[in-house]
Homo-oligomer: A and B are copies of this chain.
């Protein structure tokens, strides 16, 4: 996969490589496992101090989207490359972007034999193979590797350090909800934080939203209710059911809470819209004012904005959640601003079976990666993982928010949202975000510094013997 139009803007690009014949199934020895999978990764060596100085390698783990977006969206690698004299590597996750096994993304996901290889364990085995390949190619045997990822990619980074400590010295797992599995975190966690974010931003905004669902139902129940709602919310197509409107609003509120980033703070924008509507505006009018404030003054609003059946992230992640990434997210709390809609595992399993013909394995993530009694298990085992979170991020409800040991640590900010720390630095960044990043970089520096000490101590001892 030499050259790619999408990546032309990536000016520091030294090499864009493919690993010929990436192994499709790392855990099998079937002949067909070795034929049809090329994986994309990108290397930037502009800042690298070189193998002679054992300068580090920072590796970004792609997650549920094309690598094209990450190259510009992820700032922490380029922002810190000069300081670390680091070689930068970005690896695309299998089944996304250009890293599709055996044909097109659509075909791969339609094929029951191929999509079975679409798992996190296979993905991190890919990462291990590519990193070892790059270390060999760059004669960088002694260069420490730090892996970095956000959200699902952050989970992969943490799990990678646990499973492949011989490949990565440490991991920065940003906004990684590794505890949102197998009943570890309360189902309600996600929406409880969305609710809290709104309540803290504006009590009246929160109240308006909380009351709006009944109001929507009330209007919908009228004989021409769906027409009224369609007009009130300028829907591009006439609503077929009130659920679609509620789902659209739910998605907006979740999105703004999850990505409530400085300096614009989209959650504020919505609430200013809702609260700032002319005096006397009714509840649904205020809700609509919030939509307009967030999405702009459009001629109409697409209720399917957030259900993108042609979007690879949407499709791929649906497979992943229907196989192993079973996160029991629901509205259950009385204290939520959303109507109750509990997560129902059996219903979820039935839906996934009908979609893919495969039964989800909701306990596999904790079987393979752990999660139960994390502190008990890991405080004398493992090292060098940063779990970073912003407590206003709904996914922080499944995050690790307490230090597990001296070097498996939680770095969180009260005001932060989803994955803020790995985005590019900006002049407008608030102090707490600058501080969080500084803490993380300092911790990574201390890992590398200890590693160099160890390296001198153990140098030229290629194996352990008496």
Contacts and interface: CB of A to CB of B under 8 A. Distances in A.
Interface stretch (A245-253, A326-334, A374-382): A374-382
A256 interface: no
A410 B26 CA distance: 31
A128 interface: yes
Contacts of A185: 463
Interface in A66-123: 112-113, 115-119, 121-122
Contacts of A164: 368, 370
A119 B27 contact: yes
Contact of A458 (B162, B376, B458, B464): B376
A71 to B, nearest CB: 26
Contact of A371 (B128, B166, B381, B410): B166
B27 A462 contact: no
Contacts of A14: none
Interface stretch (A4-12, A30-38, A210-218, A304-312): A30-38
Contacts of A384: 380-381
A386 to B, nearest CB: 14
A197 interface: no
A382 B162 CA distance: 9
Contact of A372 (B119, B374, B462): B462
Interface in A410-459: 410, 412, 450, 454-455, 458
Contacts of A167: 367, 370
Residue from A324, A383, A412 having most chain B Cβ neighbours under 10 A: A383
Contact of A128 (B166, B368, B400, B407): B368
A30 B27 CA distance: 14
Contacts of A179: 463-464
A129 interface: yes
A373 interface: yes
A323 interface: yes
Nearest to A179: B463
A394 to B, nearest CB: 15
A368 B26 contact: yes
Given A381-B382, A463-B179, A116 B33 contact: yes
A162 B382 CA distance: 9
A382 B379 contact: no
A132 interface: yes
Given A381-B383, A454-B379, A112 B25 contact: no
A285 interface: no
A383 B382 CA distance: 8
B466 A30 contact: no
A463 B112 contact: no
B31 A357 contact: yes
Contact of A27 (B26, B163, B382): B26
B166 A163 contact: no
Interface in A108-166: 112-113, 115-119, 121-122, 125, 128-129, 132, 162-166
Nearest to A410: B466
Contacts of A223: none
A28 interface: yes
Given A31-B358, A34-B359, A464 B404 contact: yes
B25 A462 contact: no
Nearest to A186: B463
A412 B358 CA distance: 48
A158 to B, nearest CB: 12
9 contacts: A29-B115, A29-B119, A33-B116, A34-B359, A125-B367, A166-B372, A179-B464, A374-B464, A375-B464
> Closest 8 A-B residue pairs measured CB to CB?
A166-B370, A30-B116, A27-B27, A28-B116, A401-B466, A165-B381, A376-B458, A29-B116
Given A375-B464, A402-B464, 20 more contacts: A25-B27, A26-B368, A28-B119, A29-B118, A29-B323, A29-B356, A30-B113, A31-B357, A125-B368, A132-B363, A164-B368, A165-B370, A166-B378, A167-B370, A184-B462, A375-B461, A376-B461, A380-B454, A404-B464, A412-B466
